A and B are shown apart, each in its own frame.
Chain A
Amino acid sequence: MTKFLIRRTLQAILVLFLVTVFTLALVHLFPGGPIRSLLGPRATAQQVAHYNQLYGFDQPFYIQYFKWVGQILHGNLGFSAKLNQSVTSLIAQDLPKTVILVVLGTVVSLVFGIPLGLYQAVRRYTAGDYVLTGVSFLGYATPTFFVGLLLVEWFSIDVHLFPPFAPQGQTVGSILSQPRALILPVLAYSFVLYALWSRYMRSSVMDNLVQDYVRTARAKGASERRVLWVHIFRNSLVAIVTLLGLSLPTLVAGAIFIEVVFNYPGMGLAFYNAALQVDYQVLLGFTLIATLATIVGNLLADIGYAVLDPRVRYN
């Protein structure tokens, strides 16, 4: 187990190194370089050269890289010239709000996805299973933002039930104080995730149903209910926990689209605005943070999987 942990952590560190190199390289892709995109097309060549020198963009890539990593380790993710605010403070301001959306949406999708996936596996190839399979196919084929649009069309235009905008405000408190406005964004966010979990739960339970340990449990006289809930359900849940750790890129993507559709003031909306204004420091800082979270999520998922499933460790 220790060996596994060390190997897996070393892998994560190598991935981390590669990711930071990729991310910094992205900056140099901006048309005319990062400074040109900041100063705009009318800046003179001298001005660009001056700022390139000031920010160290004239130095070799590897020196830039080490300086940049050094800054990150000191908690400095850069400064948004367009917003006149440090990227760190921007994240501190927006991240909690995005976390609310992501956590609520994920919980709602799990609450529906896990039991319904289980139901589908147990009652496989029945009418109920086919209907729910249809629903999850819909989930795969429907872009998140379109789910948001539909909910707005149905529940705030056709029927005036909920506001078409997400809660507004700077603080977490102001978001939570408008629960009615939160309902549509959370529902839209959870629909696609629901498809993911339920589909996965269904195939995971079906895999487990034919395992030897299930036959053993039945042979020992365990009731069907006990076999399902104690043996199969718990083993399938392990897979879902792992999947959760690996799904961060999907969660991030969902958050960006939902925040744009509902004008929800979180990191996704800030990232989108930064993209429209070519605010590269924000783009870079946000990408880095989301990537770090993904790497840690993957690492935890793998370790969790190894802890929960002994077969993996001795591989």
Chain B
Amino acid sequence: MAIIPGSGDRVETGTALLPEAPPGAVDTAAPASKPHGLLRRGWEVFAENKLALVSLGVIVFMVLFCFVGPHIYHTDQVHTNLSQTLCPPGGQHLLGCDNLGYDQVGRLMVGGQTSLEVGVAAAIVAVLIGTLYGAFSGFIGGPVDSFLMRIVDAGLSIPYIMVIVILSVVFRPSPLVMIFIIAVFYWLGVARLVRGETLSLRTREYVQAVKVVGGGSTRAIVRHIVPNAIGTIIVQGTFAVADSIIILAGLGFLGLGVQAPATDWGNMLSGGLQYIQSGTNYWWLIYPAGLAIIITCIAFNFIGDALRDAFETRLQRR
């Protein structure tokens, strides 16, 4: 599971140590004078990307399936029904039943609600905290910035999975608690990224001008730094959703996530593990939930990629 905050292309190799970008590259990032025009142009670039549009469609479908689905496809997801334990797919139960007799399609819907809700909410919380922290730290600079960033380093040095496991042992995990457990770890990477962005933004004339006319640092951060770093923030937020869903699935799989009768996609898989290791082919216990996770996360990753292209192209066109 590649959840270094910002993995893959998003991996930072000791950002603090990398040589500064050439000045020419920075200069192209001009201030966002007309946000509406920018958003529209960004959307145009985004819309040209077929993969991103398909991904957007997939997400919309998933949301409808999970939240509207249960009103059309009625199943009992609260009471176990041991008479239909592990029944194979077909007829009444399109994807069969799990070890407690829950209908798997209905389970996918209920589990998907948790996965999507927690994934999106955790991403929003993490990105909000990380953005404010990173922008503040980078804007203040000096020893305060240094110290604040060491706190981030310290947090990132503790293997996140261990912190998250310990936290979910400590707190009884409800969806609300899960949001904060995931965000507690994830904001660190965002903070580091936004701080880097802030460092280059705060030297611009229009930010300096705020000081000259007597505006406070809060105003400079909220009105000028954050809006100009919005591209980075939104892209990071999109990846954060995918990563949060995977982290939640991991916890659910370990049995440390939301508690029964509630479930999430990862939790559904932990039942599957026991049964396939017994040597019988209960494929319907693992494919549906696993594919739901993969498809949703790929869609969010594609959207994140397309958004990055959209924002970067916007910068290049100037």
Residues of chain A touching chain B, judged by Cβ–Cβ distance below 8 Å, are: 11, 14-15, 18-19, 22-23, 26, 29-31, 136-146, 149-150, 152-153, 157-158, 164-165, 192-193, 195-196, 199-200, 203, 239, 242-243, 246-250, 252-254, 256-257, 260-261, 271-272, 275-276, 278, 283, 286-287, 290-291, 294-295, 298, 301-302, 305-306, 311-312, 315
Specify which chain B residues have a CB less than 8 angstroms from the CB of A249 in the assembled complex.
Answer: 4, 156-161
Q: Are A19 and B157 in contact (CB under 8 A)?
A: yes
Q: Are B165 and A139 in contact (CB under 8 A)?
A: no
Q: How far is the CA of A152 from the CA of B161 in the complex (A)?
A: 23
The 3 closest A-B pairs by CB, nearest first: A141-B297, A18-B154, A253-B161
Specify which chain B residues have a CB less than 8 angstroms from the CB of A14 in the assembled complex.
Answer: 150
Specify which chain A residues have a CB less than 8 angstroms from the CB of B298 in the assembled complex.
Answer: 137-138, 140-141
Q: Are B13 and A157 in contact (CB under 8 A)?
A: no
The residue from A146, A158, A199, A257 contacting B293, defined by CB atoms under 8 A apart: A146
Q: Are A149 and B159 in contact (CB under 8 A)?
A: no
Q: Are A242 and B14 in contact (CB under 8 A)?
A: yes
Q: Are A26 and B166 in contact (CB under 8 A)?
A: yes
Main secondary structure of the interface of B (DSSP, over half): helix
Interface residues of B, CB < 8 Å — how many? 60
Q: Please report the number of residue pairs spanning A and B whose Cβ atoms sit closer than 8 angstroms.
A: 204
With contacts A158-B281, A250-B1, A250-B2 known, is A140 near B154, CB below 8 A? no
Q: How far is the CA of A22 from the CA of B166 in the complex (A)?
A: 12
B305 to chain A, nearest CB (A): 9
Q: Are A149 and B273 in contact (CB under 8 A)?
A: yes
Report 30 cross-chain contacts, Cβ distance below 8 Å, ordered by A residue.
A18-B150, A18-B154, A26-B170, A136-B8, A137-B298, A143-B246, A143-B249, A143-B293, A144-B1, A144-B250, A146-B286, A149-B272, A149-B290, A157-B276, A165-B277, A192-B1, A196-B4, A196-B8, A242-B13, A246-B14, A247-B4, A250-B7, A253-B160, A254-B1, A275-B254, A283-B165, A287-B158, A302-B14, A305-B13, A315-B20
Q: Are B153 and A11 in contact (CB under 8 A)?
A: yes
Q: How far is the CA of A137 from the CA of B298 in the complex (A)?
A: 7
The residue from B18, B20, B155, B250 contacting A257, defined by CB atoms under 8 A apart: B250
Specify which chain A residues have a CB less than 8 angstroms from the CB of B13 in the assembled complex.
Answer: 239, 242-243, 246, 301, 305
A217 to chain B, nearest CB (A): 20
Q: Is B187 an interface residue (CB 8 A)?
A: no
Q: How far is the CA of A138 from the CA of B8 in the complex (A)?
A: 12
Contact with A along B253-272 (1 / 0, CB 8 A): 11110000000001001001
The residue from B155, B269, B283 contacting A22, defined by CB atoms under 8 A apart: B155
Q: How far is the CA of A193 from the CA of B2 in the complex (A)?
A: 7
B286 to chain A, nearest CB (A): 5
Specify which chain B residues have a CB less than 8 angstroms from the CB of A138 in the assembled complex.
Answer: 294, 298
Q: How far is the CA of A243 from the CA of B272 in the complex (A)?
A: 34
Q: Are B14 and A305 in contact (CB under 8 A)?
A: yes
Q: Which of B8, B253, B269 neighbours the largest number of chain A CB atoms within 10 Å of its CB?
A: B8
With contacts A141-B293, A141-B301, A143-B266 known, is A294 near B256, CB below 8 A? no
Q: How far is the CA of A19 from the CA of B162 in the complex (A)?
A: 13
The residue from A29, A150, A291 contacting B158, defined by CB atoms under 8 A apart: A291
Q: How far is the CA of A140 from the CA of B55 in the complex (A)?
A: 15
Q: Is B302 an interface residue (CB 8 A)?
A: yes
The residue from B11, B158, B242, B293 contacting A23, defined by CB atoms under 8 A apart: B158
Q: How far is the CA of A284 from the CA of B43 in the complex (A)?
A: 48
Q: Are B162 and A286 in contact (CB under 8 A)?
A: yes
Q: Is B205 an interface residue (CB 8 A)?
A: no
Specify which chain B residues have a CB less than 8 angstroms from the CB of A254 in the assembled complex.
Answer: 1
Given contacts A18-B154, A29-B167, A192-B1, 11 further A-B pairs with CB under 8 A are A15-B150, A15-B153, A140-B301, A150-B290, A152-B277, A157-B281, A192-B2, A196-B2, A246-B4, A252-B162, A278-B169
A158 to chain B, nearest CB (A): 7
Q: How far is the CA of A18 from the CA of B255 in the complex (A)?
A: 30
The residue from A19, A30, A272, A312 contacting B165, defined by CB atoms under 8 A apart: A272
A193 to chain B, nearest CB (A): 8
Q: How far is the CA of A283 from the CA of B13 in the complex (A)?
A: 29
Specify which chain B residues have a CB less than 8 angstroms from the CB of A276 in the assembled complex.
Answer: 255
